Structure 1
Amino acid sequence: MPLDLDDLRRAPDIEGPDLRAWDAADRLILDESAAARVGIDPGQIVVIGDTHGALALGAAADSRDSAVGGAGGGAVRAVGGAIRAHQDALLGERALIANAERLGLAGRVTSHPLDGALVRDARIVLMRLPRALDQLRDTAALIAAHAAPDVAVYAGGRVKHMALAMNDVLSERFDAIDVSHARQKSRVLIARGPYDGHDPEPRRATHAGLVVCAYGGVFAGTSIDIGTRLLLENLPDRIAGARADAAIDLACGSGVVAAALARQHPDLRVYACDQSAAAVASARATAEANGVADRVRVERDDALSALPDASASFITLNPPFHAGAAIHEGLGPRLFADAARVLRPGGELWTVFNSPLQYRPALERLVGPTRQIARNPKFTVTASTRR
């Protein structure tokens, strides 16, 4: 029987009464693609942009349970490999794995990087439409380059987050674009006939001598957002007590701050991390473009879970405040707490945040004494000293 999407959970991602592991767009994508998936080897089904496993596990459950009448009245059952999935967010990937194990679907979905191997010879692609057109453009080019010639892409989202420009972007790589009827304020675009695909390359821009590289979907792209710019303008000339490997750029995005720290302090080694796969790839490209790749290590991580306690003297952070499309103030404090764990006593966390969020009390409570370094009409930079 079809998977009951209400059985899915977001954990280990942040959970709350107003946060669900699926929405109406996931259900519509599964329903619109159901007939096309009948009899397809699961190994030829690819899922991109799933948040917490609704698409991948819904398709896996259908493949496990499907049996249709074949020639002569026999039964044809979809068998074969596992569904391939890519999720940009590490917590979403871990939530999919946890949901699969809990719902008896372990091993039916495998996680992959966003590369040619993910979509090679795929015949069905289920996809959540990203908000960023550059991210959609990158993904469409990748699918067109490596999927099977008869691939059908079912790309859906909430109508309020969709734009006609999405049809135009898909038309750059596919001959035919069909549009489903809207249901529960959701819609699906179906793309067929791939052509002129290619492997995406990061976009580049230079700001005051600093090269910024970004793949589609990375926060701020190749620009430097106002908050990060304020942080960069106020970074200390000297990092007191920092050891050669003690600086960290937490939630690094495109890697702008990590590269700037490495350029400003030639003897410093920087650890940069983000849970976004696109951000990690972008930060590595940014470090390479600025000639500091030998001193900037970039990893995909949930906060700083890979680092030991009391191992750093200096951390920078521009915390995210969106959980999907919703603003959620619990994201920042979670990162503050892990930064406090990793800082040595006397070490400092330099944070830039949207001033209305009023993070300073949380920084005082979770890290230690906090002073304001800079402020403009929208953003505040603070330095918190680990107790």
Structure 2
Amino acid sequence: MTTPWGTFELSRFPDDPRDRLRAWDASDTYLLRQLAEREVPLSGQVVVVGDRWGALATALAEHRPVQITDSFLSQEASRANLARAGAEPGAVRLLTTQDPPPERIDVLLVRVPKSLALLEDQLLRLAPAVHSGTVVVGTGMVKEIHTSTLRLFERILGPTRTSQAEQKARLILCTPDPSLIRPANPWPYSYALPDGIGPASGHTVVNHAGVFCADRLDIGTRFFLRHLPDGLGSRRIVDLGCGNGVVGTAVALANPETEVLFMDESFQAVASAEATYKANGVPGHAEFRVGDGLAGVAAGSVDVVLTNPPFHSHQALTDATAWRMFTGARRTLRPGGELWVIGNRHLGYHVKLRRLFGNSRLIAGDPKFVVLKAVKK
């Protein structure tokens, strides 16, 4: 990535030489070029929000920015890219969306996230630290910036306009208005689960902003909840890619002696899963961990893995995450352990499972979804 601050070799995390997806796009380079051409003073506290793979933080490391991200993978990519660029240790302070933000912000750079709710939550959390002299610039690809995006900036921070598009990227230019009366932050959001979905029926779900289907139970999870394994007893279960934790919580409600490990790469998701579990007073033991799939979980230490793998990384469609989840499950499962997967029928997960486990059984299906089980031999 070539910028006014130099040329940087960047990679996503985990670094895979076969991965052809770049660790930056035109919106990153557009923002950096405009900061230099407009001679934006990068003094005081610079905050970078939603930096997907550390491209912005790496380029601006000499200005000692704070990076705020919801993604464990993005944070790890940032660490690797900063080290590769020779940045001074500690030059960039890496925070999560669950950490308290800086008390004062002089330059706020926002990489627009896919989730409008996450953008709302982050702007509301950061707004008290923004003052009339704060430089606020957002960036994203044209397809990612909508009228609703601009309205959020305007409603929470102040008057907002957009730049001309370049290479299908656009900037959001906002002038902070400290006198603005801001709405209350609606996140986290809670609701009661509907009846007819197994042991979780009528129980509470808590969602932090940015978690998939934060305001309702999505149809895939609803289908999965009707076909979860039963009679698990005291076995060790992993809710992998746990989201708001409703699947693992349902298992714990039906099997009070189970030990459930909730895992996700999203800090918002793991916080949601913990809040959901605690809101329902589930008896049993649970652990909540942010990480890259099942990395860090001991081999042969798990009895059942339950997962609904994502098939995209930001805007890019990819099965790399699902494959890592499946291979991680095979490594961590004990002999006879089971991987339960729900996915869209067209994704053909049964082929991958047969290739990896040597078997795949259809547990349930409808025109859109299938629930599959693979057993480690």
What letter is aligned with 1:95? A
1:238-262 deviation digits (Å, cap 9, x = unpaired): 12xx535x11100101111011111
Residues 1:232 and 1:26: Cα distance change in structure 2 (over 3 Å)? same
What letter is aligned with 1:203? Y
Deviates more, 1:82-91 or 1:10-19: 10-19
Match of 2:124 among 136, 141, 147: 141
Other-structure match for 1:74: none
Q: How does 1:158-197 map to 2 (within 5 A)?
A: 158-191=141-174, 192-194=176-178, 195-196=180-181
Q: Is the 8 A contact 2:105 2:130 kept in 1?
A: yes
Q: How does 1:249-260 map to 2 (within 5 A)?
A: 249-260=239-250
Match of 2:70 among 67, 76, 88: 88
TM-score normalised by the chain length of structure 1: 0.88
Other-structure match for 2:364: 374
Q: Structure 1: how far apart are the matches of 2:151 and 2:128?
A: 18
Other-structure match for 1:201: 187
Q: How does 1:279-318 map to 2 (within 5 A)?
A: 279-292=269-282, 295-318=285-308
Residues 1:113 and 1:17: Cα distance change in structure 2 (over 3 Å)? closer
Match of 1:121 among 104, 116, 119: 104
Q: Structure 1: how far apart are the matches of 2:181 and 2:357?
A: 51
What letter is aligned with 1:310? G
The secondary structure found in structure 2 opposite 1:123 is strand
TM-score normalised by the chain length of structure 2: 0.90
Other-structure match for 2:34: 32
Gaps of 5+ in 2: 195-201
The secondary structure found in structure 2 opposite 1:131 is coil
- Are 2:265 and 1:275 aligned? yes
Report the Cα offset of residue 294 of structure 1: 6.3
- Are 2:48 and 1:47 aligned? yes
Report the Cα offset of residue 369 of structure 1: 2.2
Q: Is the 8 A contact 1:49 1:88 kept in 2?
A: yes
Q: Is the 8 A contact 1:272 1:296 kept in 2?
A: yes
- Are 2:214 and 1:232 aligned? no
The secondary structure found in structure 1 opposite 2:133 is coil
Report the Cα offset of residue 367 of structure 1: 2.9
1:107-138 deviation digits (Å, cap 9, x = unpaired): 22121122563332011111111122211110
Report the Cα offset of residue 200 of structure 1: 6.3
Other-structure match for 2:205: 212
Residues 1:263 and 1:149: Cα distance change in structure 2 (over 3 Å)? farther
Q: Over aligned residue pairs, what C-alpha RMSD do you find?
A: 2.1
Q: Structure 1: how far apart are the matches of 2:187 and 2:285?
A: 23
Q: Structure 2: how far apart are the matches of 1:203 and 1:36?
A: 41
What letter is aligned with 2:205? V
Q: How many residues end up aligned between the 2 structures?
A: 363
What letter is aligned with 1:212? V
Gaps of 5+ in 1: 64-81
Q: Is the 8 A contact 1:212 1:222 kept in 2?
A: no
1:339-387 deviation digits (Å, cap 9, x = unpaired): 1111000011110011111011211222342210001111110111111
Match of 2:14 among 12, 15, 20: 12
Residues 1:301 and 1:186: Cα distance change in structure 2 (over 3 Å)? same
Other-structure match for 2:198: none
Q: Is the 8 A contact 2:98 2:268 kept in 1?
A: no
